[in-house]
Amino acid sequence: MCLKNQSALALFASALFLAGLAAHGAEPEAGGVIRVGMIGLDTSHVVAFTRLLNDESHAKHVPGAKVVAAYKGGSDDIESSYTRVDKFTEQLSSEFGVEIVDTIEELCTRVDAIMLESVDGRPHLEQVKPVFKAGLPVFIDKPLAGSLRDAIEIFRLAKEYNVPCFTSSSYRFYEGLVDLKAEDVGEIRGAISYGPCYIEPHHPDFFWYGVHPAEALFAVMGTGCESVVRTSTPDTDVATGVWAGGRVGTLRGLRNQSTPHKVIVFGTKKVAEQLTGGDYAPLIVEVVKFFQTGIAPVSAEETIELFAFMEAADESKRQGGIPVRIADVIKANGG
> pLDDT in tens for each of the 335 residues of the chain?
332 333 333 444 444 444 444 443 335 655 689 999 999 999 999 999 999 999 999 999 999 999 999 999 999 999 999 999 999 999 999 999 999 999 999 999 999 999 999 999 999 999 999 999 999 999 999 999 999 999 999 999 999 999 999 999 999 999 999 999 999 999 999 999 999 999 999 999 999 999 999 999 999 999 999 999 999 999 999 999 999 999 999 999 999 999 999 999 999 999 999 999 999 999 999 999 999 999 999 999 999 999 999 999 999 999 999 999 999 999 999 99
52 close to 61: Cβ distance less than 8 angstroms: yes
CA distances from residue 208 to 69, 121, 201, 315 in whole angstroms, order as listed: 26, 8, 9, 16
Distance in Å from the first CA to the final CA of the chain: 26
Domain ranges of the chain: 3-170+282-293, 171-279+306-332
Q: Closest Cα partner for 226 from 330, 317, 335? A: 330
- Residue-averaged pLDDT of the chain: 92
With 0.75 as the threshold, say if the pTM is over it: yes
* 124 phi/psi in degrees, rounded to 5: -60, -40
d(CA 112, CA 48) in angstroms, rounded, equals 20
Instruction: Decide whether 3-170+282-293 matches 171-279+306-332 in CATH topology.
Output: no
- The CATH number of 171-279+306-332 is 3.30.360.10
d(CA 213, CA 109) in angstroms, rounded, equals 36
Burial class (CB in 10 A: 0-12, 13-18, 19+), 115: buried
229 close to 248: Cβ distance less than 8 angstroms: no
- Give the distance between the most distant pair of CA atoms in the chain: 58
d(CA 175, CA 196) in angstroms, rounded, equals 19
* 116 phi/psi in degrees, rounded to 5: -90, 110
| Domain topology for 3-170+282-293 | Rossmann fold (3.40.50)
In terms of residues, how long is the chain? 335
d(CA 264, CA 220) in angstroms, rounded, equals 9
